[in-house]
Amino acid sequence: MVSKNIILAAALVGVLAFGGEQFAMSDSDRAMYAEMLENNPADMDVESGSELLEEYCDGDAGLAKFLGVSEDALPNYIAGFPRYIDSLDMVAGLDQVIQALMVQNGHKPFALASADMFSMLAYSKAIANDEKINIDVNANKHMKEAIALGDEVFNTKRGGRGLSCMSCHSPDVIGSILRTQPLPDLGSVENKAAATWPAYRMTKSSMRTLQRRFQGCMNNALLAVIPLGSKEMVALEVYVTEQAKGREIAIPGLKR
Amino acid sequence: MRKSLFMMITVGMTLASAADLRSAIEVPDASAIIAKDLLGPAKQFTMPKGCITDDKDAIARGSFIFHNLNGKKAKQNPPTGLSRKNADGKEKQYGNCVACHNIEGAKGGGNIGPDLTNYQEYFMKTGTRDNVYVYQKIADPRIDNPDTHMTVNLTTGLFTEREICDITSYIVSIKK
Tell me, what's the pLDDT at B81? Answer: 94
Mean pLDDT by 10 residues, chain A (256 residues): 44 40 63 79 96 97 97 98 96 98 95 98 98 98 98 97 96 91 92 95 93 97 98 98 97 92
Neighbours of A52 (CB within 10 A): 20
Report H helices in chain B. Answer: 2-14, 18-23, 31-37, 56-67, 119, 131-139, 161-172
Average pLDDT over residues B44-56: 96
Average pLDDT over residues B28-49: 97
Chain B residues touching A176 at Cβ < 8 A: 110-112
Contact A229 B96 (CB under 8 A): no
> Where do the domains of chain A lie, and which CATH numbers do they carry?
4-16+25-255 (1.10.760.10)
Tell me, what's the pLDDT at A12? Answer: 42
The chain-wide mean pLDDT, for chain B, equals 91
Shortest CA gap A134–chain B (Å): 24
Is residue B66 within 8 A of residue B45, CB to CB? The reply is no
Contact A99 B12 (CB under 8 A): no
Chain A residues touching B164 at Cβ < 8 A: none
Output the pTM of the full model. 0.90
Tell me, what's the pLDDT at A11? Answer: 44
Tell me, what's the pLDDT at A132? Answer: 98
Tell me, what's the pLDDT at B19? Answer: 79
Average pLDDT over residues B110-133: 93
* Best to test chain A binding among B5, B149, B154 (most A CBs inside 10 Å): B149
* Best to test chain B binding among A103, A118, A165, A223 (most B CBs inside 10 Å): A103
Contact B21 A104 (CB under 8 A): yes
Contact A162 B156 (CB under 8 A): yes
Residue B176 has pLDDT above 90, yes or no: no
Tell me, what's the pLDDT at B172? Answer: 96
Question: Residue A103 is nearest to which of B25, B36, B108, comparing CB atoms?
Answer: B25
* Best to test chain A binding among B20, B88, B112 (most A CBs inside 10 Å): B112
**CATH assignment, B56-172:** 1.10.760.10
Encode burial over A150-189: b for 16+ CB neighbours within 10 A, e otherwise.
bbebbebbbbbbbbbbbbbbeeebbebbbbbbbbbbbbbe
Neighbours of A2 (CB within 10 A): 6
Whether the upstream peptide bond of residue A252 has omega within 30° of 0, thus cis, is: yes
Contact B100 A178 (CB under 8 A): yes
The DSSP annotation for B78-126 comes to: PPTT--SB-TTSSBPB---GGGT---TT-SS---SSPP-TTHIIIIITT
Sheet holding A199-201, edge to edge: A206-208, A199-201, A253-255
Tell me, what's the pLDDT at B41? Answer: 97
Tell me, what's the pLDDT at A4? Answer: 46
Say how far residue A175 (Cα) sits from the centre of its chain. 21
CA–CA separation, A79 and A91 (whole Å): 15
Question: B-contacting residues of A 202-241, CB under 8 Å?
Answer: 222-233
Tell me, what's the pLDDT at B17? Answer: 77
Q: Tally A–B CB contacts below 8 A.
A: 144
Alpha-carbon Rg for chain A, nearest whole angstrom, is: 18
CA–CA separation, B93 and A163 (whole Å): 15
Chain B residues touching A21 at Cβ < 8 A: none
Residue B18 has pLDDT above 90, yes or no: no
Contact A90 B27 (CB under 8 A): yes
What are B64-81's pLDDT values in tens digits? 999 999 999 999 999 999
Chain A residues touching B156 at Cβ < 8 A: 159-162
Tell me, what's the pLDDT at B54? Answer: 95
* Best to test chain B binding among A108, A157, A228 (most B CBs inside 10 Å): A157
Compare A124 and B5 and report the one with higher pLDDT.
A124
**Structure confidence at residue B154 as a pLDDT band (50, 70, 90):** very high
* Chain B residue closest in CA terms to A234: B27
Chain A residues touching B25 at Cβ < 8 A: 88, 96, 99-100, 103, 109, 229
Q: Is A183 at the interface with chain B, CB within 8 A?
A: yes
CA–CA separation, A167 and A153 (whole Å): 12
